[in-house]
Amino acid sequence: MTVSATTPATTPPSAQSAIDALNAPGSIVRESAAARLDSTDFLRLMTAQLANQDPMEPQSNDEMLAQLAQFSSLENGTASRATLSEISAKLDALIEAQERAAAAAAAASEAAAAAAAATGATPENPATT
């Protein structure tokens, strides 16, 4: 079986339903209030922690560095999530455009076939104008 360049490839129904389920707006997990914390909130918490620590047993440098590393990791994850959301939106727009282009190509092909049938043209004997 050969597939022409104008015929879009079809996706098996089971795979298409899985793709549709993954891309459904309701399947996207919303972020919690804790996920919306930013660097300002972190600095406020760290300043409060330093101001309220026991002066006789201050927090160790290792613990402070561990907290800074955790915050840096969280901030990178948040930035990655935002970038992935942007990429997802752009891919969705691209897929929509491809689907519209495929539909337009199919309609043009059908119109050309109907016009050829109306004029009696065949690929071997095209109609002249």
What pLDDT, on a 0 to 100 scale, did the predictor assign at position 74? Answer: 80
Helix (H) / strand (E) element for 107: namely helix 61-119
Residue 79 exposed, middle or buried by CB count within 10 Å (0-12, 13-18, 19+): exposed
How confident is the prediction along the chain (129 residues), in pLDDT tens digits per residue?
Answer: 444 444 445 556 677 777 776 666 655 556 666 667 677 887 888 888 888 888 788 778 888 788 888 888 888 888 888 899 999 999 999 999 999 999 999 999 999 999 888 887 665 666 555
**Dist. CA 86–CA 81, nearest whole Å:** 9
Name which of 72, 88, 96, 79 is nearest 25 in CA terms: 88
State the pLDDT at residue 59: 77
- Looking at residue 36, the DSSP 8-state letter turns out to be G
- 16 contact partners, CB below 8 Å, separation of at least 6: none
Q: Residue 25 gets which letter from DSSP?
A: G
Tokens of 4: 């022409």
pTM: 0.43
pLDDT at 62: 86
How many CB atoms are located within 10 Å of the residue 37 CB? 16
Tell me which residue of 129, 103, 104 sits closest to 116, measured CA to CA: 129
**Res 106: pLDDT:** 94
What distance in Å separates the CA atoms of residue 47 and residue 39, rounded to the nearest whole number? 12
